[in-house]
Amino acid sequence: MTAADQRTNSPTPAPGGTAQLAGRTVARIGFGAMQLEQRAVGPDTALAILRLAVREGINHIDTAHFYGPCNTFIHDALAPYPDDLVLVSKVGADREADGKLVPAQRPEQLRAQIEANLATLGAGHVGVVNLRRLDAQPGLIAEGDQRVDLNSQLAELTALRDAGKIGAIGLSNVSANQLRQALPAGIACVQNLYSILDRSAEPVLELCREHGIAWVPFFPLGSGFPNRPKATDNPTVVSIAKELGATPAQVALAWLLAHYDNTLLIPGTSDPAHLAENIAAGSLRLSRASVTALDQLTTPD
């Protein structure tokens, strides 16, 4: 039975409700494939969790060719792809033969990465491609000939969109000024570091609100870096979770969903129980008092 057959024969509610992404209706809780690479899971585990995610109503999967074997996992698990599945990939970095992650910001490199994504996904086009800028932390910083102006990159991605290789253009790790500069190209979504404890990207989110752009926070629990506060450890989050009979992670994710109607979450996991927990966060309803308390949280100095 194909993934499409599974969805047709077993319709399920969209986790977290729905929102628009590049003109497509997607579940607000998607799946981030990067965890499959980071945790170095085997093919059997990866394929099983991807198939389970789709059966549970997830139809928005975030990946990248430079996430190691993730695209191959997605192809082997889900191809031929269901019509309602939106695959979102990322360009801007690449891996050398020894596995080292390096910047790949030049227009010709962006094109090569998109072709690599198409090949490993076994797809004729990718629904959305996010351009990962490397101007600021977290992660790699572009230097030398990798410091490329945004307009040159957008011109290349626009040409690829016009050619039907990609459906829409997204941005990742950008400032409000960069998003404003890119708006004429037509931006479908923005992926930035953002959580209940780290709202330094709030100006970018406000611009997304203004233009109805999908907002996809990465590291939404604040746990992507060592020695940084984690939402799941915050006393207010823990207290509210206890009152609701939920987990702290579910409370933090539910707050993100409540903060902006066009927020899409892409938590990743290789554990079915953890997948179920993430999906259940989409049904958690926070009281007005809880939202007010959570709104007041900030990252400690």
Q: What is the pLDDT of residues 34-93, one digit of tens each?
A: 999 888 889 999 999 999 999 999 999 999 999 999 999 999 999 999 999 999 999 999
Q: Which tens digits make up the pLDDT trace of 245-288?
A: 999 999 999 999 999 999 999 999 999 999 999 999 999 999 99
Question: To 10 degrees, what angle do helices 248-259 and 235-244 make?
Answer: 100
Residue 67 annotated among the catalytic residues of the structure: yes
Cβ atoms 295, 268 nearer than 8 A: no
Q: What is the DSSP letter of 144?
A: G
Residue 32 DSSP SS3: strand
Contact 171, 130 (CB under 8 A): yes
Separation of alpha carbons 154 and 107, rounded Å: 9
Which of 73, 85, 67 lies closest to 3, judged by CA?
Answer: 85
- Rounded to two decimals, the pTM is 0.93
Structure tokens at 229: 């506060």
Instruction: Given the residues 67, 81, 194, 260, select the one marked as catalytic.
Output: 67
Whole-angstrom Cα distance, residue 71 to residue 79? 11
- Token pair recorded at residue 284: 């958690």
Distances (CA, A) of 289 to 70, 102, 130, 243, 295: 41, 45, 36, 12, 10
The rounded distance, in Å, linking the Cα atoms of 150 and 128 is 18
In the block, tokens 């996991």 appear at 269
